[in-house]
């Protein structure tokens, strides 16, 4: 049986959750749009730096390792990293100063929708390009070290799957958070009588 003796706790929980359902004031939308744009720029810089690091490391591996599968896997990882950087540049939302000046809530909503769409599909454009290269690279490493059927090889592959699964889950969670922001903006626009 549920105990409702702590009415103050229930009221506090209700009052705290009410903020998520209230429409956003225009000043708050402007503030969040600015912070969102800054976060996107920082994220993209980190991703491009990581791409440069991956390309440099795996290009080095392609040169120094003698096993053909390791060389091929390294080159496939380099190609995958370049595809991911291209996809990020193509898919990410970019600021549009003209649109921002005309309709800040519509502009912010459009950027959120684009980012949500990108994050929700991270498995296709961000993770999938790395899979062939990493598999060939790991198979080459296993062949070169003689641990092709070993438990160590399986653990390395399992670790890679866990990392990819974690990245996929974090991005799906971020996409859900963006959907919540979009819903708040939609409620604000409906509250103010705008058509969506």
Taking Cα atoms as reference points, which of 49, 80, 66, 65 lies closest to residue 164?
80
Give the integer Cα–Cα distance in Å for 126 and 123. 6
Give the integer Cα–Cα distance in Å for 78 and 58. 6
130-163 pLDDT, tens digit per residue, is: 999 999 999 998 888 877 667 888 888 899 999 9
- Check if the beta carbon of residue 138 is closer than 8 Å to that of residue 156: yes
3-60 pLDDT, tens digit per residue, is: 444 445 434 544 554 455 556 677 777 788 888 888 999 999 999 999 999 999 999 9
Sorted by sequence, the CB contacts under 8 Å of residue 147 that are 6+ apart come out as 153
The pTM assigned to this predicted structure is: 0.75
pLDDT at 191: 61
93-103 pLDDT, tens digit per residue, is: 676 666 555 67
Residue 107 class from Cβ within 10 Å (0-12 exposed, 13-18 middle, 19+ buried)? buried
Taking Cα atoms as reference points, which of 63, 62, 70, 60 lies closest to residue 135?
70
């Amino acid at each position: 049986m549920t105990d409702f003796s702590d009415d103050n706790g229930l009221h506090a929980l209700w009052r705290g959750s009410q903020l998520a359902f209230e429409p956003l004031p225009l000043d708050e939308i402007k503030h969040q749009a600015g912070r969102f744009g800054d976060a996107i720029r920082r994220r993209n810089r980190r991703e491009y730096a990581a791409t440069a690091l991956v390309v440099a490391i795996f290009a080095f591996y392609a040169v120094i390792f003698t096993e053909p599968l390791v060389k091929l896997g390294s080159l496939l990882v380099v190609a995958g990293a370049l595809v991911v950087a291209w996809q990020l540049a193509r898919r990410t939302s970019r600021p549009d100063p003209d649109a921002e000046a005309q309709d800040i809530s519509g502009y912010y909503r459009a950027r959120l929708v684009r980012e949500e769409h990108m994050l929700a599909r991270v498995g296709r454009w961000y993770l999938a390009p790395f899979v062939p290269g990493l598999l060939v690279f790991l198979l080459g490493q296993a062949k070169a070290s003689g641990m092709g059927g070993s438990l160590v090889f399986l653990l390395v592959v399992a670790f890679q799957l866990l990392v990819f699964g974690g990245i996929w889950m974090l991005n799906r969670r971020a996409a859900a958070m963006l959907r919540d922001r979009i819903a708040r903006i939609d409620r604000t626009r409906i509250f103010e009588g705008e058509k969506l």
